[in-house]
Amino acid sequence: MAEEKLPTRAEDFSEWYNQLVLKAQLADYAPVRGCMVVRPYGWALWENITAALDRRFKATGHQNVAFPMLIPRSFIDKEKHHVEGFSPELAVVTIGGGEELAEPLVIRPTSETIIGHMWSKWIQSYRDLPVLMNQWNSVVRWELRTKLFLRTLEFYWQEGHTAHATREEAEFETRQMLDIYTDFAVSDAAIPVIPGKKSDAEKFAGADTTFSIEAMMGDGKALQAGTSHFLGQNFAQAFEVRYLDQNGQLQHCWTTSWGLSTRFIGAIIMVHGDDQGLIMPPKLAPIQVVIVPIYKTDEEKSSVLDAARKLNAELVKAGIRVKLDEREGQSAGWKFNDWEMRGVPVRVELGPKDVAKQAAVLARRDKPGREGKVSAPLADLPVTTEKLLAEVQQALHDKALNFRKSNTHDTKNIEELKRAVENGFALASWCGSADCEAKIKEETRATMRCIPLEQEGQAGECIACGKPAPERAVFARAY
């Protein structure tokens, strides 16, 4: 399996990605076009992502809930921007139990509408607020062009939904969740992201304001890696979500929603992977350390496996996610390649000479060859391994940040922007007009990714019309 080589990233990045997802056994194509089967290794990565986010959500007072997958069609139609945005992507159920349904049901593309309906029953007074909910589920959006993890017809995600008494509270929540996504991406996934505001053309259907985190992939394209929406009172008005304030006046709530999906797995693959396969950030890696025993004779096998099993138990005790590769009939070299393909951050090589010296060789996945190898006493291995995992985590982040910086260009006109987005990000001043945004998109095939919250440098004249521009935006071609 692992011996077939991948195409290189330089010759065909897209095909490198497709084959890597299959060969590393993260996912496979489902019998229904556009759907995917997430395999155990891919799901283990998703579980680590969910755990890292869930911990942060709960620390900020959010509770998990479960709403139904089927939503009455009329609910989607209630909020006009929402219906316009989602109609082409809806999967609709018209028959149930052999009978035609009186009202068609939509398989949820997102849950604002059904949650709004329930909130209108549950929220009565200011004492019921804020409501801070999140659910882990899958949603369906009828996509025509699909790619494993990045864009599938059904995908897994979390969707947060909150209701507040004031605009200020809801705006604070929207930004807080964006900060949580940013912290998760940087600290756990080792992916530097640009948090920013979407233009009106790119915002969520039904939102007043959408914020996103944007990441640069290994081919210079952008990936929207998480979004947080300030919904104003749009859904509260559509679904009559109201509360009695302290003066006994009826007010509409202010709401938010925010989500991060399995496409984040695509980001991890494309930001960190190399021509040998995946490179997993240690904090999220399903397997952080793999032990590969090396022996020729039965006598060697017995002593090496004894030492390897003892070491395995010590690493487990130290809280490290470890795998001892005892597969028969495969050479050590074959196993090295296999675990490199799967991106395990640290490999421990243990042979008879190592056992005699009471030491082992540790190889870092992010530094190929001799440069990434160190020898360490078996007695110190749990401590050495933890230190090495922390070094790999930091090195992956720094490498990705340097890559983004060196492929991000300041641009003063559309020609410069066109060149910059061939294989990177363009920073450009923009006047805020939708016409200028559309013109840039048409001439460069790049979209405005976001208006960064942290503005670097001074905004000058709009790149499209030359009028004074209040801020600078990031433009790129995107997944």
For 82-117, the pLDDT digits (tens) are: 878 888 899 999 999 999 999 999 999 999 999 999
Please indicate, yes or no, whether residues 421 and 384 belong to a single structural domain of this protein.
Answer: no
Please state, in angstroms and rounded to a whole number, the distance separating the CA atoms of residues 340 and 6: 12
Q: Does 380 share its domain with 414? A: no
Alpha helices in 244-348 (DSSP H): 263-272, 298-317, 332-341
104 located within any domain: yes
pLDDT above 60 (res 248): yes
Are 305 and 326 within 8 A, CB to CB?
yes
How far, in Å, are 81, 107, 110, 235, 246 from residue 86 at the CA level? 9, 12, 9, 15, 37
End-to-end CA distance of the chain: 28
pLDDT tier at 288 (50, 70, 90 boundaries)? very high
- Whether 4 has a pLDDT exceeding 80, the answer reads no
Element (H, E) at 447: strand 447-452
Give the integer Cα–Cα distance in Å for 151 and 89: 13
Averaged pLDDT for residues 258-271: 98
Residue whose structure tokens are 């099993």: 309
- In this prediction, residue 82 carries a pLDDT of 84
pLDDT band at 3 (very low <50, low <70, confident <90, very high): low
| Residues whose CB is less than 8 angstroms from the CB of residue 221 and which lie 6 or more positions away in sequence, other chains included | 476, 477, 478, 479
What one-character DSSP code corresponds to residue 357?
A: H
Q: Give residue-wise pLDDT tens across range 167-182.
A: 999 999 999 999 999 9
Report CA-CA distances (Å) from 385 to 105, 283, 393. 52, 13, 12
Same domain, yes or no: 106 and 226? yes
Count of the separate structural domains present in the chain:
3
Q: Is residue 7 part of a domain?
A: no
Q: How confident is the model at residue 457 (pLDDT cuts 50, 70, 90)?
A: confident
**Per-residue pLDDT tens over the stretch 415-446:** 999 999 999 999 999 999 999 999 999 999 99
Is the pLDDT score of 452 beyond 50?
Answer: yes
Show Cβ contacts of residue 54 under 8 Å, excluding neighbours closer than 6 positions: 64, 136, 158
Q: Which helix (H) or strand (E) holds 373?
A: strand 373-377
Q: Is the peptide bond before 130 cis (omega within 30 degrees of 0)?
A: yes
Q: How far is CA 3 from CA 180, 243, 276, 277, 330, in A?
A: 39, 63, 10, 11, 11
Within this chain, do residues 151 and 246 fall inside the same structural domain, yes or no?
Answer: yes
d(CA 248, CA 277): 62
Segment 336-349 mean pLDDT: 98
CATH assignment of the domain containing 312 = 3.40.50.800
- Strand-pair category, 346-350 with 289-293: parallel
Average pLDDT over residues 406-411: 97
| Same domain (yes/no): 133, 87 | yes
| Residue 194 belongs to domain spanning | 13-272
Count CB-CB contacts under 10 A for residue 170.
23
Q: Indicate if 38 and 95 belong to the same structural domain.
A: yes
Q: How many CB atoms lie within 10 A of CB 275?
A: 14
Boundary of a domain, candidates 331, 358, 388: 388
- Lowest-pLDDT choice from 80-89, 292-301, 442-451: 80-89
Structural domain includes residue 398 = no
**How far is 465 from 370, CA to CA, in rounded Å?**
54
Tell me the one-letter amino acid at 105. Answer: L
Let me know how long the chain is: 479
Is 3 inside a domain boundary? no
On the question of a cis peptide bond just before residue 286, with omega within 30 degrees of 0, the verdict is no
Lookup: tokens for 392: 């790999």
Which residues make beta-bridge pairs with 132? 162
Strands 194-197, 131-140: pairing is: unpaired
pTM for this model (two decimals) = 0.96
**Residue 41's pLDDT is what?**
98
Same domain, 214 and 123: yes
CB atoms within 10 A of CB 171: 17
Q: What is the mean pLDDT of residues 386-397?
A: 98
- Same domain for 233 and 132: yes
Does residue 279 form part of some domain?
A: no
Last residue of a domain, one of 246, 272, 298: 272
Mean pLDDT of the chain: 96
427 CB-side CA count, 13 A: 19
Q: What pLDDT does 122 receive?
A: 98
* Residues above pLDDT 70, as percent of the chain: 99
How far is residue 26's CA from residue 162's CA, in Å, rounded to a whole number? 33
Q: What is the pLDDT of residue 83?
A: 79
pLDDT at 38 > cutoff 70: yes
User: Who's near 11: CB < 8 A, 6+ residues apart?
Assistant: none
355 and 256 within one domain: no
What's the average model confidence in pLDDT over 145-154? 95
pLDDT tops 80 at residue 455: yes
Contact between residue 424 and residue 409 where contact means Cβ atoms under 8 Å apart:
yes
For residues 169 and 115, membership in a common domain is answered with yes
Same domain assignment for residues 265 and 293: no
Q: What is the mean pLDDT of residues 293-311?
A: 97
Asked, for residue 402, whether it belongs to a domain, the answer is: no
Quick check: is 393 in a domain? no
Identify the CATH number of the domain in which residue 432 sits. 3.30.110.30
- In a domain? residue 282: no
- Judgement on whether residues 361 and 471 belong to the same structural domain of the protein: no
pLDDT band at residue 2 using 50, 70 and 90 as cut-offs: very low
Domain boundary among 237, 272, 307: 272
